[in-house]
Every structure is written in structure tokens, then in C-alpha cells.
Chains A and B, each alone.
Chain A
Amino acid sequence: MARITAGIATSHVPAIGAAIDLGKTGDEYWAPVFAGYEWVRTWIKDNTPDVVILCYNDHASAMMLDIVPTFALGFAEEYEPADEGWGARPVPTVMGDPDLAGHLAEQLVIDDFDLTIMNAMDVDHGLTVPLSLVFGQVEEWPCRVIPLAVNVTQFPTPSADRCWQLGAAIRDAVEAYPEDLDVQVWGTGGMSHQLQGERAGLINPEFDNAFLDKLIDGTDELRAITRLQFLREAGSEGIELIMWLIMRAALGEKVEQLHRFYHVPASNTAVGHTVLRPVAD
């Protein structure tokens, strides 16, 4: 049977991708950011999953104009990196897992999550920057990826608690999959940041660090954070953190924190990163 072996959370700032692609990771500005990912780069070598279910948001690259899905699951064999206005990132094609995706969709819709199915789409920095941060610059990604895109852009987004419930259902669905697979769930985006208006540049380290603390064993409090609280406290784009709750719920009740990192800033954003492992009851 398939099993969820770990969860990774990370910010997915586009400038981080540009720093990798342009060879700037050793620059004074960027070195402290990438230092925070050295641990996971080593750890992943011995803990490479067969499949990553990667929760991210599409930044008006493949959706959000003509169609605005709340939860969209990738069904394709492969996904090309999107051209976001300066050419596509020079990273490998992302290989999907249509069979596991089909199983997930079946189980999740039966569990009342009315997913949108994406049979074809490009993937933007929201998905490829986390892959680059964890796997580095590679000829091909070392595992298959099932994109799970969440609307965190157009209000109302799903609630924190709805994301939690989805994560819990993903756990059950993975464990019901008959193949012998190691699956990781990644939650991406955040932490606090605001990319618009006079309040742009907002960073709330107190909120972010409390979120990282509670992600381990204070999850009831995280599930209760309202959209309005996310906006007020973490900035208009900080609500991306709801995607971390899908990851966390997929790990079950108890987790062990293997790694944690927090740094301000990367471009406009507070960078947060953690690696969690489920602990059997």
C-alpha cells in the first residue's frame, strides 16, 4: 500500500527561482536564503519519494482568467514550466502520475471535495521553485509530481479548515492506494507578504513564527484562523499559508519536526521552510 512518509513546507518566491537560474545563490543577498535549504537538499537524497503531491497556487499562468477553480488536481502525464513574461524557467518538465491522480480524484470527490480536473496545464514558479529548492539544479526531477492548485487569489478562497479537511482526506486516499509507493505532500507559498497597495512589504515575523510553532502541535488554532485574520496579520498574499495546512493534515495527528528555517526577506516575502515526519500513535 502507499504511505505518506513526510511533509515539506516552503515559500515559493519567484525571485528565488531567478536567483537559482541566474547563478546568484552565493550572492550576499541570497546566500542566507539558500543556507536554510542545505539541510533538506542532503536529507532528500536518502528520502526521495516516488510521488510528491504538491499544493501550490497558480499565479495567473494556467488558470484564474477564464476559469477559477478552488481546488484543481493535475491529471496530465507531464507539465511544462510556464512562461510568466520573461521566458520559461530552464528547469525539467514535471512528470505526473495520472494513475494515482485518478485514484485521488475518485476518493476525494466521493468524500465531498468537488475537485476540478486539469488534463493539461503549464506549471509556474509556485510549483517549480519548491522543486528547485529541494532537489537543486537537475537534468530531470527525481520523482513524479501531482499538482494540486488551490485558489488563494480570488476571494473567497477556501478556508483554513477546509484545506485541513482536504489534507486529511488525501491521507486516507493515499493509504487506500494499492501500489507500494512513498508519497510526500508539500505545502507551498507564504509566509507573510503583501504585494499590493500602500501596505505592500508587510512582514509579520510574530505571526509567522507562531504559525510554525503551531504547525507541530497547535493545529486546532491554525484551522480556526479566518481569511480576514490572514489578510490583516499576514498580508494579502500571506493567505497562501492555508496550503501548508493541507500538507500538515495529510501527515496525521502527530508529527516530528526534522527541520525549520525562517528568513526575511526574499524580495517582498518572509521565507519559511519546514520538514515534518508523521509519528505513529
Chain B
Amino acid sequence: MRQRLYPLEDLEDIPGTTVFTARRSRQAYHLHKFCMSLMDKDNRNAFKADERAYLDRFRMTEEQKQAVLARDFNGLIELGGNIYFLVKLSNTDGWSAQKAVGSMTGMTPDEYAAMMRAGGRSPEGQKSKRDQG
């Protein structure tokens, strides 16, 4: 066996964090294909006109479609999604990246914005699930 610097399972040890791996990328392939389709204005208009009908053009799971309709970004990440694809959706909605990202924290947009202005979330106690006990 080749030597590794740390067990790869440790990537799952970071609180509130999902590491985007090749497996998750494949799980979200059709979700991401939908997201990237929103880089085209005509597609954005078609999506806005009838979200469900537009989503049905893609081979996404029903769970992924429901999470898109609900703008449930934590849910989308759980279903394989990555934020760089998902912001195509929030950009289409006219959301700032801060609003999209903040929506995953359980804070209101104002609370999250205030936390960022005050210097952001401290990493203390947030580095390892094991350390949190």
C-alpha cells in the first residue's frame, strides 16, 4: 500500500462541510447540467416561465428537482451538488452569492451579512467533528 498523509475518511471529519468528490460529481451530473444550462438567456427565460416543465427536460432525480424548486441549497449539496454550479441558479433568481451561501447556515440574510461584516465565522471549534466530541 502506498503511504498517505492522512486517512481519506478524515475529509468527512470537518463540521458543516461536504467535500465535493468525483462520486458526488457523478451523482449530481444531471443536476449540474441543468445548472449550466442557465448560462443561456433563453434557457433562463424558459426556466422562469415554467420551472417544473423545464426541470423535466433533465434526467435529475425527483429529490433534486424538489430541492431546486424549494431553493434548498443544503439539500442540493447533500444530493451531490457543488456551489459553483448551484450559483447559476441563484444568479438566475437575482440573488447575491452571499444570499445563496448564507441560506445554508440557518441564519437570516441580515444576520449572515452582519456576521461577515464583523469578520466572518471563526474557525475555532469548527475544524474537526472529533474535537467537538
Contact with A along B82-107 (1 / 0, CB 8 A): 11110111111010111001101110
Q: Is the CB of A228 within 8 A of B11?
A: yes
**Which of the four size classes fits the interface of chain A?**
35 or more
Interface centre among B5, B17, B21, B104 (most CB of A within 10 A): B17
Partner of A65, one of B11, B33, B98: B33
B44 proximal to A (CB < 8 A): yes
What is the 8 Å Cβ interface bit string for chain A, positions 198-212, against chain B (1 contact, 0 not)?
111111110100000
Please tell me if the beta carbons of B10 and A228 are within 8 angstroms of each other in the complex.
Answer: yes
Chain A residues with Cβ below 8 Å from B32 are 60, 64-65
Q: Once the chains bind, are B41 and A87 in contact (CB under 8 Å)?
A: yes
Q: Return the chain B residue nearest A29 by Cβ.
A: B117
Question: Smallest CB–CB gap between A164 and chain B, Å?
Answer: 16
Taking a contact as CB atoms under 8 Å apart, the answer to whether B83 and A196 are in contact is yes
Per-residue CB proximity of B1-36 to A under 8 Å, as 1/0? 000011000110011111111100100010011011
Let me know if A197 and B77 touch, CB within 8 A.
yes
Looking at chain A's contact residues, the main secondary structure is: loop
Please measure, in the bound complex, the distance between the C-alpha atom of A60 and the C-alpha atom of B40, giving whole angstroms: 14
Q: Is B121 in contact with A202, judged by CB distance below 8 angstroms?
A: yes
Q: Please name all residues of chain B whose beta carbon is closer than 8 Å to the beta carbon of A201 when the two chains form the complex.
A: 101-102, 105, 112, 115-116, 120-121
B91: contacting residue among A86, A196, A207, A270, CB under 8 A: A86
Give how many B residues have a beta carbon under 8 Å from the other chain's beta carbons: 58
Tell me if A194 is interfacial: C-beta within 8 Å of chain B. yes
> When A86-B94, A228-B11 are in contact, do A197 and B18 touch as well, CB less than 8 Å?
yes
In the complex, are the beta carbons of B19 and A231 less than 8 A apart? yes
Asked if A254 CB lies within 8 Å of chain B CBs, one says: no
Q: Give the CA-CA distance A59 to B90 in the complex, in Å.
A: 14
Please, which residues of chain A bring their CB within 8 A of the CB of B18? 196-197, 236
**Alpha-carbon separation in the docked complex, A103 to B55 (Å):** 44
**Nearest CB on A from B12, distance (A):** 11
B87 contact set on A, CB distance < 8 A? 59, 84-85
Shortest beta-carbon distance from A274 to chain B in Å: 20
On whether the beta carbons of A203 and B88 are closer than 8 Å, the reply is no
**Contact call B39/A85, Cβ cutoff below 8 A:** yes
A267 to B96, CA, bound (A): 9
User: In the bound complex, do residue B120 and residue A202 qualify as a contact, i.e. CB atoms below 8 Å apart?
Assistant: yes
Q: Are A268 and B88 in contact (CB under 8 A)?
A: no
**The residue from A202, A226, A264 contacting B126, defined by CB atoms under 8 A apart:** A202
In the complex, given contacts A60-B32, A268-B116, what are 9 additional A-B residue pairs having Cβ atoms less than 8 angstroms apart?
A60-B35, A61-B39, A65-B33, A154-B82, A196-B77, A198-B16, A199-B14, A204-B123, A268-B101
